[in-house]
Amino acid sequence: MTDKNAQAEEFVLRLDGISKRFGALTANSGISLGLRRGEVIALLGENGAGKTTLMNILFGHYVADEGTVEVFGEPLPPGNPRAALAAGVGMVHQHFTLADNLSVIDNITLGTESLWSRGNGRAAARARIKALSRDFGLAVHPDARVGSLSVGERQRVEILKALYRDARILILDEPTAVLTPQETDALFDTLRRAIAAGLSIIFISHKLHEVIAIADRCIVLRHGKVVGEVDTHSTDRAKLASMMVGGEIALPEAEARAPGPALLRLNHVSTRAKGTATGLRQVTLDLCSGQIIGLAGVSGNGQAALADLVSGLVRPDQGSIEIGGRQPIVWSPREALRHRIARIPEDRHKTGTISDFNLTENAVLEGYSCPPFSRRGWMNWRAAESFAKDIIAKYDVRCQGPAQRIRLLSGGNMQKLILGRVLEPTPKIILANQPVRGLDVGAIAYVHSRLIAARDAGAAVLLISEDLDEIQSLSDVIHVMSEGRLSPGFARGSMTAAELGLWMAGQGFEGGEDAA
């Protein structure tokens, strides 16, 4: 990467004038970009900016309306993932495409060998996988069942799969979303080795500091167009962020406040594991008025169980919940609502809203059974509609009106409707589970400012997030979850990301006893 002139000719990948429309929506409009040998470019953009569509076109999942893709100077036939694979394009999806019940070696070789030559090339394949894992620092046992691997290890298998097929161009879609800081460092080490071996990489991410850390160039997409291209060595996070949204953004910073009385208390609560999801192990936690408690942790370490517990979906198997000093006799979502617990669910499409229902119906999904929305068994749709209109106006939900189906809204606007639904009845306790996942920078700032405002008004906020930056900038107290255990609370600013990362990896916990 020192001699720029020598590399200028060597574009391994060129996208030229790519456009793709879905009905009235233009996902990509005239996008051109080139990737050089041994280069990492980052694709940065708000949600819905067209990053995923562009990569799906490149990999042959979609056919572009206009434009061409060239790999190593050869045009790539559109709509053919096999051709993309054969040309040396490998994709590591955000959601892994692995078979849990097969071994690592089977997953990697799946589809590369003929049905008739079963067993022949196996020794060779094993040797090759071992060599690849050594060369690229991808430690994983070839005979382990994928179902028994951690998330980080599964990602390594995905990368190995691409390398095994002789990928020369690697596309990574949000690869760090599920990793601890330490695992992210290991991933970056692998990527640097890959570049040294002559591969080229397209790295898609929301996290600005990672983009700066790994990429040479950064291409910013907005509304389906390339709005800028910057050398990452001569830029900073604030500049990138403002390019993404097209303006300067003030990121809200929560100021520390003295906590009030405990509104919700968990006493040594344990819950059973549900399927592959981890249960809680002796969790003790106080949610105090006027305080944001941040819950960090690698995804799948019991955060979902804690969220289900607080939202009323799950009852403690051991231990107890106390609200306002009293234990509720039954514990259900409706009971949680009655105690004025606002719940922002992790998955707004599957649990937060009913996609076939309109905005009005979704706005009253939680309050529908009480006046003024329901009287003596009859719905009062006029009252429901005016409630929806209030939310639309107050929370700036961009939509055609309360009668529009919610599935047609963007993620950010959907989240704003949910915010309005749960915050309008002025809750005492707020459970915010991944409240900004998949939102653009503008919507993130908005959601955060609402949470801070609710806290300042005296609510207790439990913020669950996989994004350490978010946790660190908002929380008054930070807890870390690992394998269902809860760490002690750390005051704002008392821990670095690396120190929290050690807790996330399970270090510091004493024999399953928590010390909160």
Partner 1 sequence: MRLEPIANASLARRLGLPLAALGATVIVAGVLALIAGANPFAVLGQIVTGAVGSKFALLETLNRATPLIFTGLAVAVAFKAKLWNIGAEAQLYAGAIIAVLMGTGAMESPIVLPVSALLAMAAGALVLLGPVLLKTRLGVDEVVTTLLLNFIMLLFVSYLLEGPMKDPMGMGWPKSEPLIKDARLPRIVEGLRLHWGFALALIAAVVVYIIERRTTFGFEMRAVGSNLGAARFAGIPVNRVLVQTALLSGGLAALAGWSEVAGLKGHLSQDLSPGFGYTGIIVAMLALLNPIGVVGTAIFVAGIFVGSDAMSRAAVVPTYIADMLLASALLFMVLALLLTRVRVVRG
Contacts with partner 1, residue ranges (CB under 8 A) = 22-25, 60, 63, 78-80, 311-313, 332-334, 336-337, 343, 345, 350-357, 361, 365-366, 368-369, 374, 377-379, 381, 408
Rounded CA separation 163/158 (Å) = 9
- Give the residue with the Cβ less far from partner 1, 6 or 24: 24
Q: What strand order describes the sheet that includes 66-71?
A: 25-36, 11-22, 66-71, 74-75
What is the nearest approach in angstroms of partner 1 to the Cβ of residue 79? 3
What Rg do the C-alpha atoms of the chain give, in angstroms? 25
Rounded CA separation 464/370 (Å) = 29
What is the nearest approach in angstroms of partner 1 to the Cβ of residue 76? 12
What is the nearest approach in angstroms of partner 1 to the Cβ of residue 355? 7
- Give the residue with the Cβ less far from partner 1, 173 or 366: 366
Q: For residue 379, what are the β-bridge partners?
A: 374
Residue 57, phi then psi, degrees to nearest 5 = -70, -45
Rounded CA separation 371/158 (Å) = 53
- Give the residue with the Cβ less far from partner 1, 227 or 354: 354
- Give the residue with the Cβ less far from partner 1, 8 or 86: 86
- Give the residue with the Cβ less far from partner 1, 182 or 374: 374
- Give the residue with the Cβ less far from partner 1, 172 or 344: 344
What is the nearest approach in angstroms of partner 1 to the Cβ of residue 369? 6
What is the nearest approach in angstroms of partner 1 to the Cβ of residue 86? 16
Q: Please give the structure tokens belonging to residue 508.
A: 């510091």
* DSSP annotation of 254: P
Q: Which of 322, 401, 336 is nearest to 366 (CA)?
A: 336
What is the nearest approach in angstroms of partner 1 to the Cβ of residue 112? 23
* DSSP annotation of 342: E
Rounded CA separation 55/266 (Å) = 45
Q: What is the DSSP string of 116-163?
A: GGTTTTHHHHHHHHHHHHHHHT----TTSBGGGS-HHHHHHHHHHHHH
Among positive and negative, which fits the CA dihedral 355, 360, 363, 366?
A: negative
What is the nearest approach in angstroms of partner 1 to the Cβ of residue 401? 15
Exposed, middle or buried by CB within 10 Å (0-12, 13-18, 19+), for 148? exposed
DSSP H/E element including 83: helix 81-86
- Give the residue with the Cβ less far from partner 1, 158 or 308: 308
SS3 241: helix
- Check if the beta carbon of residue 275 is closer than 8 Å to that of residue 235: no
Percentages helix, strand, coil for the chain (3-state, rounded to 5) are: 35, 25, 40
What is the nearest approach in angstroms of partner 1 to the Cβ of residue 24? 7
What is the nearest approach in angstroms of partner 1 to the Cβ of residue 82? 11
What is the nearest approach in angstroms of partner 1 to the Cβ of residue 10? 30
Q: Which of 72, 53, 51 is nearest to 63 (CA)?
A: 53
Q: Which residues neighbour 447 within 8 Å (Cβ) at sequence distance 6 or greater? A: 415, 416, 419, 435, 436, 439
- Give the residue with the Cβ less far from partner 1, 77 or 247: 77
Residue 280, phi then psi, degrees to nearest 5 = -95, 145
- Give the residue with the Cβ less far from partner 1, 312 or 484: 312
What is the nearest approach in angstroms of partner 1 to the Cβ of residue 360? 11
- Give the residue with the Cβ less far from partner 1, 7 or 355: 355
DSSP H/E element including 216: none
- Give the residue with the Cβ less far from partner 1, 53 or 282: 53
